[in-house]
A and B are shown apart, each in its own frame.
Chain A
């Protein structure tokens, strides 16, 4: 089931999308699993049904889910899970960068801000400039998205 972080500033539908993505990455959800129905979700979270529909549409658009009329929405795809060796190498490279930034006198918040804004610039450039409430905010907030419980 989903949970919401009202103080995060991330639009509610994106929080739902992120939580499904996170669960896919962590292996909590797999292909064929049924997502909670719109009615179940809105009852539990007290949110507008359109928000859930929008989140599920976004997941369908990303080919991660498919809606079957009368049955519900089902997980249809997987998110590229990076292999352990590759993940380790990426982590090492990032740690090198953190050390360099630390030597340069940047504190933790400074590093986080710099990483977030670089990631945003990268995504903006890669995906072409998209409206603010879509792409760039997704990038800014993906770090904050919690896992599906």
Chain B
């Protein structure tokens, strides 16, 4: 089953295209990080998946063919918009009551015990909670409807490092317990590697990179060697981004060549997810999408090499 499937998906606001030619197939059972600079189209894509926006062109389906916004899709999706919008003048307990009445499925016991574990008093007004507590309250509400997928728009943006760690820890515990899928947007790149097992990079409204994190990391390498001109066999090694500093050059490359098959004088080293994301974001034109053709070609080269 695919979590999100889209083809030629596009969204236009007046004359501005927020998202263009977005073709994706994200398998379920993943923790998906949606990464990109401000204005890349992250929120637009999440809102399209949640059914809060209609596409200007193309198609999108969620959870194995459901139309976003349909009753079936809405029942199975938990959505937390940016900055965890809650009613500030309500008490935490009243916020739960409100959400219970707005949702068809609701696990009250679990919601209450979750807030108790987090030390969030039901009698406290939402506006008197800390940023981290508000984010946890919004997450508690989204989890209480027992969704198959949780869509979180910038859940970490306004949290301090400790609250970020605790938020992600409790989110990952929920994933371990219920096996739900998660898709979240973020521009905090450094912490993604521990959390996400599927990466989607958007840049300037276009899909730049999408794939299983483990596969992406195994296909990308840092190549370090002498600066100056170099001729690489581009059928075996594709340069995503090159940084030259004096006598040394660092290239982020996509290749299936083995470590000991680096060109003479050059050294392969593993790339981190952060290296990879930054390299793609720096060059909006670079794009690699997983596809049978590319994989087959890469394997063919590896055998020849």
Contacts and interface: CB of A to CB of B under 8 A. Distances in A.
Contacts of A1: none
13 contacts: A12-B194, A39-B173, A39-B176, A44-B169, A45-B169, A45-B194, A46-B191, A48-B31, A48-B172, A48-B194, A48-B195, A49-B175, A132-B258
A47 interface: yes
Given A46-B194, A132-B270, 6 more contacts: A43-B170, A47-B172, A48-B195, A51-B194, A132-B258, A137-B270
A42 B177 CA distance: 11
Contacts of A100: none
A43 B118 CA distance: 12
Given A12-B194, A39-B177, A133-B218, A46 B270 contact: no
Contacts of A12: 193-194
A12 B176 CA distance: 17
Interface string B248-292: 000000000011000000000010100000000000000000000
A105 interface: no
Contacts of B166: 46
A24 B139 CA distance: 38
A48 to B, nearest CB: 5
Nearest to B182: A48
Q: Name the prevailing secondary structure of the B interface residues.
A: helix
A135 B197 CA distance: 21
Interface residues of A, number: 21
B168 A49 contact: no
Interface of B: 31, 165-166, 168-170, 172-173, 175-177, 191, 193-197, 217-218, 258-259, 270, 272
Contacts of A6: 194
A50 B176 CA distance: 8
A46 B195 CA distance: 7
Contacts of B176: 38-39, 42, 49, 52
Nearest to A38: B176
A50 B172 CA distance: 10
A132 to B, nearest CB: 5
A48 B169 contact: no
B259 A42 contact: no
Interface string A40-62: 00111111111110000000000
Contacts of A44: 169
A38 B168 CA distance: 14
A58 to B, nearest CB: 14
A75 to B, nearest CB: 21
Contacts of B195: 46-48
Contact of B169 (A9, A42, A51): A42
A42 B175 CA distance: 9
Interface string A118-149: 00000000000001110001000000000000
A52 B193 CA distance: 14
Indicate the member of A39, A43, A48, A131 with the most B CB atoms within 10 Å. Answer: A48
A10 B176 CA distance: 23
B232 to A, nearest CB: 20
B100 to A, nearest CB: 25
Indicate the member of B165, B173, B195 with the most A CB atoms within 10 Å. Answer: B173
A9 B172 contact: no
A138 to B, nearest CB: 13
Indicate the member of B172, B173, B175 with the most A CB atoms within 10 Å. Answer: B172
